[in-house]
Homo-oligomer: A and B are copies of this chain.
Amino acid sequence: MIIDGLQCGYFDRDVFERLKQGNVHCVTPTLGFWEGTVPSLESIVRWRDLARENADLVGIATSAAQIESLAAQGKVAIVLGFQNATLLEGHIGFVELFADLGVRVIQLTYNNQNDLGGSCYEAEDSGLARYGKEVIREMNRCGVLVDLSHVGNRTSREAIEWSERPVAITHANPDEVYPHRRNKTTDVLHALRDHGGIIGCAAYRNIAGDEFCKTVDKWCELVARTVDIVGIDHVGIGTDKSHNTTQRDLDWMRKGHWTRGTDFGAGSAARPGKAPPPDWFKSVEDLGAVEPALARAGFSPAEVDQITHGNWLRVYRAVMG
């Protein structure tokens, strides 16, 4: 069984069937990048409708126990997540309301600084702002996982230390393994480890690099090097796989409403468009190849279980209660 800590794009029945084929029995889709409260509620409505229409294949889960129960029925558990805190529109009280509506993961900041803290692409990382501290406390209270994937390194360190529950970097890689602003410095990863958190290794070409995208064994080498840095208890999978996205969606993800100019996100002027998927990971069912490859990389069966789902379940249990 695989738990994927982050995917994005447009899910449909075909994607759900491929997830099952790939032995992925839990995934956190991205319900929003820049959206405010009302479009975020609309996104929840769409996901509820989608889950109802495909109730034979998927179910929305709000606890580790529900994930396990859905997986045991051969279904895919959906953990509702947002990649930005814009859904709150500055309301501390909305954390509880969104949690009541099933949201279980919120990334503190997306590509830009916001009212909570600094982001990986800002020249200056402010650190965790006053409101960011309030939101983390409330997320802790309401069983919502703090996601730091796109958060700046300083804000990430401060959030790890401030949070009373383990936090996650749901989709990123170690900067030491593949240097990139979206990847995490070793000091952040050690703090994450020391506070019981988890990093989901990404299979997104822009932040994994061409080399680790060649074969599944190459990608598992990236996973192994991440384990070397944070230890076997703190590594999971968070592919950042995007389904059915177009250039228009990519523009929204990168430019939102915040710029009339150009922004390449994790890409660059040299690689401006949609990054090609890893050679071994053209479609989501290919994730089925990860478990045997992790075994070939030298992980024991128990360690493979930890990386593929056990560590995620431990963190979900600690956060969602």
Q: Please report A residues at the B interface, Cβ cutoff 8 Å.
A: 37-38, 41-42, 44-46, 48-49, 89, 91, 93-94, 96-97, 100-101
Contact = CB atoms under 8 A, between A and B. Distances in A.
A48 B101 contact: no
A40 to B, nearest CB: 11
A101 B102 CA distance: 11
B38 A93 contact: no
B41 A96 contact: no
A49 B93 contact: yes
B93 A101 contact: no
A45 B93 contact: yes
Contacts of A45: 91, 93-94, 96-97
A56 to B, nearest CB: 21
Contacts of A38: 37-38, 89
A163 to B, nearest CB: 22
Nearest to A94: B41
A37 B41 contact: yes
A18 to B, nearest CB: 27
A38 to B, nearest CB: 5
A222 to B, nearest CB: 40
A48 B91 contact: no
Contacts of A101: 97, 100-101
A94 B49 CA distance: 12
Contact of A91 (B41, B97, B100): B41
B42 A91 contact: yes
